[in-house]
Amino acid sequence: MEEINALLQGFGVALSPLNLLLMFVGVILGIIIGVLPGLGGANGVAILLPLTFSMAQQPGGTTSAIILLSCIYWGALFGGAITSILFNIPGEPWSVATTFDGHPLAQQGRAGSALTAAFTSSFIGALIAVIMITFLSPVVAGFALRFGPPEFFSVYLLTFCAFVGMSGGNAAKTVASMMIGFALAAVGLDSVTGTLRLTFGFTSLLKGFDFLIAVIGLFGIGEILETLEEGLAFKGASARINMKVVLETWKELPRYWATSLRSAAVGCFMGIVPGGATPASFMSYGLARRLSKDGNDFGSGRVEGVVAPETAAHAAGTSALLPMITLGVPGSPTAAVLLGGLLIWGLQPGPLLFVEKPDFVWGLIASMYLGNIAGLIVVLTCVPLFAAILRIPFSIIAPVIIVICAIGAYTVHNSMFDVYLMVVFGVIGYAFKKLGYPLAPMVLALVLGDRAEENFRNAIKGSQGDMLVFFSNGLVGGLTSLALLLLFWPLIRAGWRVVLGKS
Amino acid sequence: MESEQQHSAASLRAVEIGVAVVIFLFGALVVFDSYRLGARWGDDGPQAGYFPFYVGLFICTSGAAILVRALRNTAFAAESFVSREELKKILTVLVPTIVYVSVIGYLGFYVASTLYIAYFMWHLGKYAWIKIAPVSIGVSVAFFLIFEIWFSVPLPKGPLEAALGLN
């Protein structure tokens, strides 16, 4: 039980007074970020990342920094449920499915039980995912220690092919968004050959595009513009949670244990495969409706209809960190931002992290347990406070959010050019969202572009340009084949249906 | 549905075509510059343009695919991308935002932010100046305390901070 020992040491790291304080600060900030329109997990973490630069330089500081940022992420996951249930506005895409039954419950005056059910199932989903991370990540990391450049490139390939094959949207748009991310990542000084690429003589492009600026612009400014045209009237149900409601709901929840377990399993799986929390929440809502005794009443305010998507979304959001810490491949945009943070602090995410920085890894994993407990306590006690934030008029909150985004963009490199870029990315984000281009592949490509290219180059350098290096042994061949299978999955499925239909 | 009641400023199809063309041109630019740098096999491995060259090709292909699909599908020509009312709302936020980020360099972050928040409250919120002044100044002072003093992250400052000796 090596993992248990390592985890206990991790708890030792995470339980220091400073780290506990950061946990609560992170969770509270995260919930505020999750509740506010225009701020979400990904850009919230991106904006606060520069503030951790100095923190990370102290001894043990990287652990504190990742605890702060990952707790912001847990908080944002919790916060999404508040707006969905009380205001029928999904704060995050993965809370859309929560509105289906959560908001009807609130309208019937049962907001308290809906919120309690949502928070509790979020917590359970996260807990199951963290337990899985605890035991699975050392195995995955150990396995990945044998990886060379071809294997790493095929893992990246797998990630990106999964986006194309599993997204369900327009494949050409997914490819376009992803490849634009890769192209933007290539801009600037090429570290291998020392040549300038795609700068066209502009000195401001020498450093290239920072993904943090892209995240803040695409998700922050873009979302504000989108919220704006939808109208700004927030009509919310009142939020009161008292101990009696909580206990009553908790008495009801064990009845839905099957739904919880099923949703957690869906969430854990979808979180590891990039695609993430949003499809997981819809999928488990659909499954729960089909398999539940009173599935026909779903949509009219069933607690079970809140349990299913919330458990899955939180499980997926948490397990998205598994490939991030073990392979250096983030499963969601927010995980991508956290990965970018590790790189900035000078840590090399990937299997070696478990060997070289066990304190960091296990401190992070321990903080996942503690952070979610902290989150549950904070949300159950402070809901009315957070709901009040949404009652601040839009004409005040919108400029304040844009100012925060601008500060975040500026502080990344202390450069005004980045602030202008942020606005440009905001307009792109708005247009792309309205036209159905997915934004997550672009962000992931922007973060992983350099590493993917480096591994690709080293792999084909080793093989003297022979592309068959990606099929040279069972491991890399299997990964590449799986990537291609996922890439062409929609075609394969369509073909399969044709064959079945004719026979 | 909505497009019949509200005047459309741009049809979905027109914007889809426009964006696809921009994507295609962007891809062509990437291909062009990668080719200039060398997208072949050099003496010691792939040249600098090798990887971006293919990335550019993928961008062009996907842009072309989106363009062809939009050109063939005339059904959504009637659908609206953005109505005039929506566009007007967006411009009332976007234009001040552009002005805001471009004056930061001259006025400093805090003064520009104060003016920006005040403009929003005055123009969109129709608040009285008696409410606008404390909120907009208060938010900027709070940001000053958080960033300059608590986190010691300096933001650009302008003539006002210089006059107050806060640099």
Residue A190's region, left for phi above 0, alpha for psi from -120 to 50, else beta, is: beta
pLDDT at B167: 65
Q: Which residue segment(s) compose the domain that B38 sits in?
A: 2-78
**Contact of A305 with A299, CB cutoff 8 Å:** yes
Q: Which residue segment(s) compose the domain that A325 sits in?
A: 2-151+213-416
Size of interface A-B (CB pairs under 8 A): 160
Assess whether B62 and B104 both reside in one domain. no
pLDDT at A324: 87
Assess whether B105 and B156 both reside in one domain. yes
A195-250 pLDDT tens trace: 888 888 787 788 888 888 988 888 888 888 887 766 655 555 666 667 777 788 88
31-70 of A, contacting B, C-beta below 8 A: 50-51, 54
Q: Is residue A13 part of a domain?
A: yes
Residues of chain A with Cβ-Cβ distance to B147 below 8 Å are 407, 411
Whether B3 has a pLDDT exceeding 50, the answer reads no
Assess whether B61 and B102 both reside in one domain. no
pLDDT at A276: 63
pLDDT at B1: 38
Q: Is residue A229 part of a domain?
A: yes
Closest in B41, B97, B124 to A423, CB measured: B97
With an 8 Å Cβ cutoff, is A453 touching chain B? yes
pLDDT at A423: 94
Q: Which of A207, A176, A214, A161 is nearest to A42 (CA)?
A: A214
> Cα separations (Å) of A46 from A39, A142, A212, A301?
10, 30, 6, 35
Mutate to test the interface with B, among A395, A401, A421, A424 (most CBs of B within 10 A): A395
**Contact of B97 with A430, CB cutoff 8 Å:** no
With an 8 Å Cβ cutoff, is A24 touching chain B? no
End of a domain among B45, B78, B111? B78
pLDDT at A501: 73
Q: How many domains does chain B have?
A: 2
Assess whether B69 and B135 both reside in one domain. no
pLDDT at A355: 85
| Cα(B116)–Cα(A77) distance, integer angstroms | 30
Assess whether B46 and B90 both reside in one domain. no
**Do A197 and B33 make contact, defined as CB atoms within 8 angstroms?**
yes
Using 50, 70 and 90 to split pLDDT, how confident is the model at B135? very high
Closest in B26, B81, B151 to A434, CB measured: B81
With an 8 Å Cβ cutoff, is A28 touching chain B? no
Packing angle between helix A149-166 and helix A474-487, nearest 10 degrees?
A: 20
B63-118 pLDDT tens trace: 999 999 888 877 766 778 888 888 888 888 899 999 999 999 899 999 999 999 99
Using 50, 70 and 90 to split pLDDT, how confident is the model at B4? very low
**Do B120 and A179 make contact, defined as CB atoms within 8 angstroms?**
no
Return the structure tokens found at B41. 């096999």
End of a domain among B78, B108, B138? B78
What one-character-per-residue DSSP string does A290-355 give? HHSTTGGGTTS--HHHHHHHHHHHHHHHHHTHHHHHHHS--SSHHHHHHHHHHHHTT---STHHHH
| Cα(A485)–Cα(A344) distance, integer angstroms | 34
**Do A228 and B124 make contact, defined as CB atoms within 8 angstroms?**
no
Residues whose CB falls within 8 Å of the CB of residue A243, separated by 6 or more in sequence, listed in order:
none
User: Which chain A residue has its CA at the smallest distance from B50's CA?
Assistant: A457
B137-157 pLDDT tens trace: 999 999 999 888 887 788 888
**Do B86 and A407 make contact, defined as CB atoms within 8 angstroms?**
no
Assess whether B19 and B71 both reside in one domain. yes
pLDDT at A391: 76
Residues whose CB falls within 8 Å of the CB of residue A276, separated by 6 or more in sequence, listed in order:
A94, A270, A316, A317, A320, A331, A332, A440
Half-sphere exposure of A272 (CA within 13 A, CB side): 16
Q: Over chain A (503 residues), what is each successive 10-residue block's mean pLDDT?
A: 82 86 91 80 85 80 88 87 79 76 84 88 92 89 86 86 75 91 89 80 81 87 79 59 77 83 86 71 83 79 86 88 86 84 85 86 89 90 80 83 90 89 93 87 85 86 81 84 84 82 61
Percentages (nearest 5) of helix, strand, coil residues in chain B: 75, 10, 20
AA letter at A124 = I
Helix (H) or strand (E) holding B41: strand B41-42
**Do A176 and B66 make contact, defined as CB atoms within 8 angstroms?**
yes
**Do B104 and A419 make contact, defined as CB atoms within 8 angstroms?**
yes
Whether B6 has a pLDDT exceeding 70, the answer reads no
Return the structure tokens found at A63. 């652990």
| Cα(A314)–Cα(A127) distance, integer angstroms | 9
| Cα(A403)–Cα(B44) distance, integer angstroms | 48
B31-69 pLDDT tens trace: 998 888 877 777 777 788 888 999 999 999 999 999 998
pLDDT at A235: 57
Q: Which of A358, A362, A355, A330 is nearest to A343 (CA)?
A: A330
Q: How many domains does chain A have?
A: 1
AA letter at A368 = M
HEC-encoded secondary structure of A449-485? HHHHHHHHHHHHHHCCCCHHHHHCCHHHHHHHHHHHH
HEC-encoded secondary structure of B60-111? HHHHHHHHHHHHHCCHHHCCEEEEHHHHHHHHHHHHHHHHHHHHHHHHEHHH
Q: Is residue A45 part of a domain?
A: yes
**Do B124 and A394 make contact, defined as CB atoms within 8 angstroms?**
yes
| Cα(A131)–Cα(A428) distance, integer angstroms | 39
End of a domain among B14, B43, B78? B78
Mutate to test the interface with A, among B83, B97, B143 (most CBs of A within 10 A): B97
**Contact of A326 with A334, CB cutoff 8 Å:** no
Q: State the smallest CA–CA distance between residue A33 and chain B in angstroms.
A: 17
Q: Is residue A384 part of a domain?
A: yes
Assess whether B9 and B53 both reside in one domain. yes
**Do A183 and B153 make contact, defined as CB atoms within 8 angstroms?**
no
Locus of tokens 């595009």: A209
239-278 of A, contacting B, C-beta below 8 A: none
Residues of chain A with Cβ-Cβ distance to B16 below 8 Å are 435
Assess whether B74 and B103 both reside in one domain. no
Assess whether B59 and B130 both reside in one domain. no
